[in-house]
Structures are given as structure tokens and as C-alpha cells.
Amino acid sequence: MLDLMTGNAAAAKAAMLARVEVIAAYPITPQTSISEKLAEMVANGEMNAKYIKVESEHSAMAALIGASYIGARTFTATSSQGLALMHEMLFWASGARRPIVMPVVSRALGPPWNIWTDHMDVMGERDTGWMQLFCENNQETLDLILMAYRVAEDKDIMLPAMIIEDGFILSHTFEKVDVPAIEEIDFYLHPFNPDVKVNFRKPRRYGSLVMPDWAMEFRYNNALAMEKAKKKWVEAGIAFKKAFGRDYSSLVELYRCEDADVALIVAGSAAGTAKVSADRMRERGRKVGVAKLRAFRPFPTEEVMRLGEGVRTIGVFDRSYTFAQGGAIYGEVRNALYPMASDVRVKGYIGGLGGRDITEAEFEKMFEDLLAIAKSGSMSKDVEWVALKDGSYRW
């Protein structure tokens, strides 16, 4: 059914459609309306779930790890400082192979105190062993949460997943969303039934000490599961397309990249703006494309390499900074393309931090810059902060 809803309403709806059984959440802007909506749906009987009120995000994640051990389908949501407070428990969830699904409504970390979107919060958790997927719009938020349960609970995977929706830009924006019927979802997403469950009649110890002789092998299995998740996301995408018509069958969505001279890799809501910008450039005869990075973990190395085989000048737009060489996505893309380093140029753009608006005009400047690099074969800077007030930027 077509409806108009915010990203946060779509996230809460997805939890309801997935028949989530245990929710534990703590409020933080701009996530709060997800947990409020869920509390309302649990209270009025729309959802048959246990809602655990907790004193922090750390406790929320701890509660869900326990609930997931029982065999319950679990859900929480957070942002920014709340995600940072969860950090320790994020490792716990992935190491214990608990398929918890959590929308992260991305927001800058302070100081400077700031409630608006950027990806510093999620990139700070990139090495916790969670799957991380970015949404371009509210439809994707709803769809990817449903897909995430299917992949996360797959017996070969059993890893938690963050579904990332940009704070305010998606979370508080009303967009058209096609909401599947819960009966349709029941065919796509089966109940969670893990092999190992807590059984109170047969008490056991969970998460027990592992000595150095085997701890590394456990970690290796985590790594293998993340690698296998690439295929599972593609399969889940194909099944989703069959059931609902919307296509998520690739980890990198290519937009007008086939004959492009340059391509820009973008994750999240800015990908939509970049596509509009690419359309305008195409109207002026500029052959540019957008590669929308849907999955950051697992990282689609092969798909990025395939892009590099066709397009030799690639830009990466990051809404985060690593305090090393550019943004988080830029680092991964350059890493993936290193084997063909002599043929491919990769430029990093840092922008949209702390909620700074990224306009179509800014993307056009990035495309023009990339086209100039493609033409001359050289670039003066590897990484550039876009629309930075450095004296040359007009605002």
C-alpha cells in the first residue's frame, strides 16, 4: 500500500512487518521517533513484542544479545553518541553471532555539539564485525531492514546488521513508501529459529573464555561469514525483487556508469542528489555516472574492481573523515583498486559533515573536477574538502 512516511516511521513499520519479538531502545535525536513509534505499537497491540525500557544504549544492546540467545527476533535503533556508547556491546553481538538488526540514524559526534547527519558515527563502528548498509531513501530503509533479517539470520551468516538512514534528511522527511502487507512479508521472511538457543531446563554457559589456541579460529569464522554475506545479500535482493519488484540485487548500484568517463561513489541519501546532478551533466554531454555503495560491510571489493575496469577515473564522496588519508569509503575503494593502481585514479571528496547540505551544484563541481582529471591524467590533490570555507568558497 502506498503511503507517505518519514524514514523513522518506515523503520518502525519494518520492525512491525518483520514481527520483531524483543525491542530494547534508548532515546536519542534523531532516532527517538523510531523507539516512540514502536512503544506505541507495542502498547496498542499492533505489535506482539516485549519492549524493554533500558537506562542506556549499552544496556539496550546487552538486553538484545540476551534476548537473541533465547531465539527471539530483536530490534533496536540509535544514533551518534548512543552508538558510540554501545561500542563494547557491538563486538559482543557480532562475536556471539547474534543477528540483531539496528537502524542507525546517522548523526555527527560532538563536539562541536551537532545533531545533524554525517557518517562519522557508523564509520567509527566499521570494524566491529557488523554488516553496514546505507539507504538512499525511506523506501530503502523499510526494504533493507526486512532484507537484513533474512541475511543476518541465515545459518551461514548469523551476524548483526546496521541499516543506516541519514539523520533528518531521511529520518524526518516524508517520502512516498510502498508498504508490503505483513502476509507478503511472512513468505519472504521466515521466523527466527537458531540452532543454539538458551534452554532453561538445560543450563549452559554462553560466551565463555576461549584460550589463545582457538580464539583466532573463532575470529576467522566471523571473517568467513562476512565474506559469505556478500552472496547472501545478492540472493536476498533477487528474492526481494521477485516478491516486491524493487531491485536490490547488487551491493553497488550503478547509475549511468556503462559508458561513463568518470564515476562518483556515494553512500546514503546524497546518492539521490548525485544522480540528479549526473542527469544534468549528461544533458550537457558530460559522460558521468554514480556508483551507489549500498553495502559498506561486507565491502563489495569485486564490484568496485569491476567498476574500475570500465571507468578509469573514480571519485569517492565521503560523509566522514578518518584522520588519515581521506574518508572511510575512500580508503576501502583505493585499497580495492590498488592492484590496478597504475591505470585508475581515485580522488576523495569530504563533504556534508555535521549536516552541511550537499547540493546538486556541489556534485556538478565534483564531476567537472573528475572530468578534468580524466582529461589531463593527473590530479593535484588526492583528497579535497568540498564547500569548505577556506576563503575561496562563496557562501
Of 17-25, 41-49, 95-103, 300-308, the segment contacting another protein by CB under 8 A is: 95-103
Of 39-47, 52-60, 162-170, 309-317, the segment contacting another protein by CB under 8 A is: 162-170
Residue 116 touches another protein, criterion: CB under 8 A: yes
Residue 174 touches another protein, criterion: CB under 8 A: yes
Nearer to another protein, 181 or 209 (CB): 209
Give min distance, CB of 382 to another protein, in A. Answer: 26
- Is the distance from CB of 192 to CB of 296 less than 8 angstroms? no
| Contacts made by residues 320-326, CB under 8 angstroms, sequence distance 24+ | 320/118, 320/119, 320/120, 320/122, 320/123, 320/350, 320/353, 321/120, 321/350, 321/353, 322/123, 325/382, 325/383, 326/350, 326/382, 326/383
C-alpha cell at 180: 508490503
Choose which of 34, 355, 366, 374 interacts with another protein (CB under 8 A).
355
What is the total count of residues that contact another protein (CB under 8 A)?
45
How far is it, in rounded angstroms, from Cα 113 to Cα 357? 17
Residue 161 touches another protein, criterion: CB under 8 A: no
**CA–centroid distance for 318 within its chain:** 13
Nearer to another protein, 167 or 308 (CB): 167
Nearer to another protein, 197 or 375 (CB): 197
Q: In the window 128-157, what residues touch another protein (CB under 8 A)?
A: 136-137
Of 38-46, 240-248, 351-359, 370-378, the segment contacting another protein by CB under 8 A is: 351-359
- Report the run of H or E that residue 51 belongs to, with start and end: strand 50-53
How far is it, in rounded angstroms, from Cα 150 to Cα 142? 13
How far is it, in rounded angstroms, from Cα 255 to Cα 264? 10
Q: In the window 186-245, what residues touch another protein (CB under 8 A)?
A: 196, 203-210, 214, 217-218, 220-221, 225
- Is the distance from CB of 167 to CB of 106 less than 8 angstroms? yes
Interface ranges with another protein (CB under 8 A): 2, 4, 95-98, 116, 136-137, 158, 166, 168-170, 172-176, 196, 203-210, 214, 217-218, 220-221, 225, 269-270, 272-273, 275-276, 355, 357-360
